[in-house]
């Protein structure tokens, strides 16, 4: 008599042979089952690392409403607006690579009185250390940086309560923190602005417990803006550009992604209003038989981005996605690009310029 066991009743996708090795046409339709539905009536906010820029783009292309709390001035050409941080995310906060940075931004938006602004000198001008890339030429004074940041925070404080879904892409565990304020920086001082000194900044590599604590705080803060806001987490498949951990960049990147991946889904498992979308798995899985990365082995190919976004839109019945319309999808309604990676604004990639020959 054959003994009964759970695997006898498991669906085909529960087995590697059927669910991965025998996939036809890289069909990932069974990979993701949404915990909650999304619809064009939802208003989305997007934030995260560079890869997160694709999410906002495809939501718009699917007819969804995406918050733009700080729209570009009407007279700006689209490429100029993008260079100044407009239309990339739901606010001009630039890339947010770590959960701690996201948490601290939400805390700052709600802070009363306002927290101190960290100003960095750059080529005889000044930039906001927490979003140094959004003013390529810098501002004329530190005072002007403070004014701009207060306007930025006010816009987000006013607009975020309208959102019903917050999409956050986790990108890194490594970061640098300002010793005086404790704030987590998007890039090491000295790369875009400011000056590096062990006396003023410290390296940190966030581990699983810290990530879970930060995600818990992020969810709590989002519910202050809107008690019914849902959180959709993803992990960027883009490897680290460089590491300050002392490890080889490959093992440092693998460790970071494994930590982020574990924390993201574990956190989603604990909350009915949090879900995890497996963009990381689609790009890095052996089931993706065609090359997923460009020759630099870091940038994700347009066809692969289309594959990821197709799984996303089909799972939520938001529309269909092909390589052509992902490559041509707008960053905002008027922004058109031919190469999705060329369109991304990514401070972390600047670290490649400091690699030894």
Is residue 117's pLDDT more than 80?
A: yes
Sign of CA dihedral 88, 94, 100, 102: negative
pLDDT for 22: 86
For residues 334 and 179, the answer to whether their CB atoms sit within 8 Å is no
> Taking residues 143-171, what's their average pLDDT?
98
pLDDT for 346: 66
Give the position of tokens 């403070």.
Answer: 146
The band of 356, judged by pLDDT with boundaries at 50, 70 and 90, is: low
Is residue 81's pLDDT more than 60?
A: yes
Domain ranges of the chain: 39-112+145-175+206-350
CA 188, CA 238: separation in Å to the nearest integer?
A: 19
pLDDT for 27: 79
336-357 CB burial, b ≥16 within 10 A, e <16: ebeebbebbbbbbbebeeeeee
pLDDT for 98: 98
Is residue 341's pLDDT more than 80?
A: no
pLDDT for 322: 44
**More confident site: 257 or 352:** 257
Q: Helix, strand or coil for residue 120? A: strand
> Taking residues 143-148, what's their average pLDDT?
98
pLDDT for 324: 39
Residues 6+ apart with CB under 8 A from 233: 168, 169, 170, 215, 264, 265, 267, 268, 274, 275, 276, 277
For residues 93 and 155, the answer to whether their CB atoms sit within 8 Å is no
Strands of the sheet containing 184-185, edge to edge, are 184-185, 174-178, 201-205
pLDDT for 332: 33
Is residue 336's pLDDT more than 70?
A: no
Closest C-alpha to 71, from 155, 169, 144, 165: 155
> Taking residues 222-249, what's their average pLDDT?
98
Is residue 150's pLDDT more than 70?
A: yes
Report the topology of domain 39-112+145-175+206-350: Rossmann fold (3.40.50)
Give the rounded percent of residues in the chain with a pLDDT score beyond 70.
Answer: 88
CA geometry: angle 70, 349, 268, nearest 5 deg: 65
Q: pTM to 2 decimals?
A: 0.89
Would you report the helix, strand and coil content of the chain in percent, each value rounded to 5? 40, 15, 50
β-pairing verdict for 65-66 and 43-48: parallel
pLDDT for 1: 56
To the nearest whole number, what is the mean pLDDT of the chain?
89
Is residue 158's pLDDT more than 60?
A: yes
For residues 242 and 352, the answer to whether their CB atoms sit within 8 Å is yes
The band of 29, judged by pLDDT with boundaries at 50, 70 and 90, is: confident
For residues 231 and 272, the answer to whether their CB atoms sit within 8 Å is no
> Taking residues 174-192, what's their average pLDDT?
97
- Cis geometry, peptide bond prior to residue 113 (ω within 30 degrees of 0): yes
Q: How many Å separate Cα 319 from the centre of its chain?
A: 22
């Amino acid at each position: 008599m054959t003994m009964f066991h759970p695997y006898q009743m498991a669906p085909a996708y529960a087995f590697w042979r059927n669910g991965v090795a025998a996939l036809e046409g890289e069909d990932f339709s069974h990979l993701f089952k949404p915990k909650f539905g999304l619809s064009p009536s939802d208003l989305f906010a997007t934030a995260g690392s560079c890869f997160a820029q694709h999410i906002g783009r495809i939501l718009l292309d699917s007819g969804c409403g995406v918050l733009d709390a700080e729209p570009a001035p009407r007279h700006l050409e689209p490429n100029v607006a993008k260079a100044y941080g407009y239309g990339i995310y739901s606010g001009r906060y630039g890339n947010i690579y770590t959960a701690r940075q996201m948490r601290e931004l939400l805390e700052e938006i709600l802070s009363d009185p306002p927290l101190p602004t960290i100003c960095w000198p750059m080529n005889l001008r000044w930039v906001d250390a927490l979003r140094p890339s959004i003013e390529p030429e810098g501002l004329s004074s530190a005072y002007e940086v403070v004014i701009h940041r207060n306007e930025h925070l006010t816009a987000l404080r006013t607009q975020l309560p309208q959102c019903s879904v917050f999409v956050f892409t986790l990108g890194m565990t490594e970061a640098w923190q300002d010793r005086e304020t404790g704030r987590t920086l998007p890039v090491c001082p000295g790369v875009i602005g400011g000056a590096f000194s062990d006396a003023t900044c410290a390296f940190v590599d966030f581990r699983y417990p810290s990530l879970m604590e930060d995600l818990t705080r992020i969810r709590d803060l989002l519910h202050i803006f809107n008690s019914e806001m849902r959180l959709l987490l993803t992990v960027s498949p883009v490897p680290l550009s460089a590491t300050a951990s002392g490890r080889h960049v490959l093992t440092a990147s693998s460790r970071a992604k494994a930590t982020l991946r574990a924390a993201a889904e574990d956190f989603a498992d604990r909350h009915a209003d949090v879900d995890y979308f497996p963009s990381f798995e689609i790009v890095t899985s052996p089931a993706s038989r065609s090359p997923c990365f460009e020759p630099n082995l870091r940038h994700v190919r347009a066809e692969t981005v289309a594959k990821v976004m197709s799984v996303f839109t089909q799972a939520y019945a938001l529309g269909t996605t092909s390589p052509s319309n992902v490559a041509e999808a707008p960053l905002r309604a008027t922004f058109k690009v031919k190469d999705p990676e060329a369109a991304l604004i990514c401070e972390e990639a600047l670290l490649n310029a400091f690699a030894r020959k």
